[in-house]
Amino acid sequence: MPPYRPLQATTGGSFIGPRRAVAGLLMAAGGLLSLAVFLVDTFTALQGAVAVVYLVVVLLVAASGSRRAIGGAAFGCMGLTIVSFVLGHGWPELDAAMLRCLVSLSAIAITAVLSLRARDRMATIAGQARLIELTHDSIFVRDMDDVIVLWNTGAEQLYGWTASEAMGHRATDLLGTALPGHHTCVDAALFSTGRWEGEVSQRHRDGRLVIVAARCALLRDDRGKARVILEAGTDVTARRAADAALGESERRYRSMFEKARFSFWEEDWTLVMARIAILREEGVTDLAAYLQAHPTFVRECCALALVTDVNDATVRMLGARAREDLIGPLDRFLPATDTTFSRVILTIAQGGGVAEGETHLTNLKGERLTVLFALNMPLGPTRFDRVLVSVVDITDRKRAERALMAVQSELAQAARITALGEMSASIAHEVNQPLAAIVTHGEASLRWLRRPVPDLHEACDAIERVVRDARRASEVVHRVRSLASKEPRQHVRFDLAALVAECALLLEGELAQHHIMLSVDIAPEAPSPRGDRVQLQQVVLNLMANAIRAMSCVPGSRTLVLRARPDGEEGILVEVEDSGTGIPEDIAVHLFDAFVTTRGGGMGMGLAICRSTVESHGGRLWATNRPESGATFHFTLPVTVAEEAGA
Partner 1 sequence: MTRMPPPMTPPLAPVVCIVDDDAAVREALDSLFRSVGLNVAAFGSAADFLARDNANAPGCLVLDVRLPGVNGLDFQAQLAAMDNPLPIVFMTGHGDIPMSVRAMKAGALDFLSKPFRDQDMLDAVSMAIERDAVGRRDADAIGALRQAYASLTPREREVMHHVTAGLMNKQVGGLLGLSEITVKIHRGNVMRKMAARSLAELVRQAEALAAHP
Q: Which residues bind partner 1 (CB under 8 A)?
A: 425, 428-429, 432-441, 443-445, 447-448, 451, 455, 458, 461-462, 465, 468-469, 472
Identify which of 337, 326, 452 has the alpha carbon closest to the alpha carbon of residue 389.
Answer: 326
For residues 77, 78, 82 and 87, what is the CA-based torsion angle, rounded to 10 degrees? 0
Q: Which of the 8 DSSP states describes residue 331?
A: G
DSSP state of 206: T
Altogether, the residues listed in the chain come to a count of 647
Neighbours of 232 (CB within 10 A): 21
Which lies closer to partner 1 via its Cβ, residue 90 or residue 452?
Answer: 452
Sheet holding 368-376, edge to edge: 328-329, 306-310, 263-268, 387-393, 368-376, 354-362
Q: From CA 272, how far away is CA 294, in angstroms rounded?
A: 15
Compute the least distance from the CB of residue 469 to partner 1, in Å: 5
If the CB atoms of residues 149 and 438 are measured against partner 1, the closer one turns out to be 438
Cβ atoms of 551 and 630 closer than 8 Å: yes
Q: Which amino acid is at 521?
A: D
Largest CA distance in the chain: 208
Q: Which is nearer to partner 1, 243 or 443 (CB)?
A: 443
- CB of 261 or CB of 457, closer to partner 1: 457
Comparing CB distances to partner 1, the nearer of 402 and 447 is: 447
What is the C-alpha to C-alpha distance for residues 484 and 478, in angstroms, rounded to an integer?
Answer: 10
CB of 434 to partner 1, least distance (A): 6
Q: Contact at 8 Å (CB) between 344 and 357?
A: yes
Q: Given the complex with partner 1, which of 399 and 471 has the nearer CB atom?
A: 471
Q: Looking at beta carbons only, is 313 or 438 nearer to partner 1?
A: 438
Q: Where do runs of H (alpha helix) occur along 44-66? A: 54-64
Complete DSSP assignment for 412-428: HHHHHHHHHHHHHHHHH
- Please state the closest distance from residue 451 (CB atom) to partner 1, in A: 7
CA–CA distances in Å: residue 427 to residues 356, 419, 432, 603: 55, 12, 8, 20
Instruction: Choose between 9 and 449: whose C-beta lies nearer to partner 1.
Output: 449
H or E stretch at 275: helix 270-281
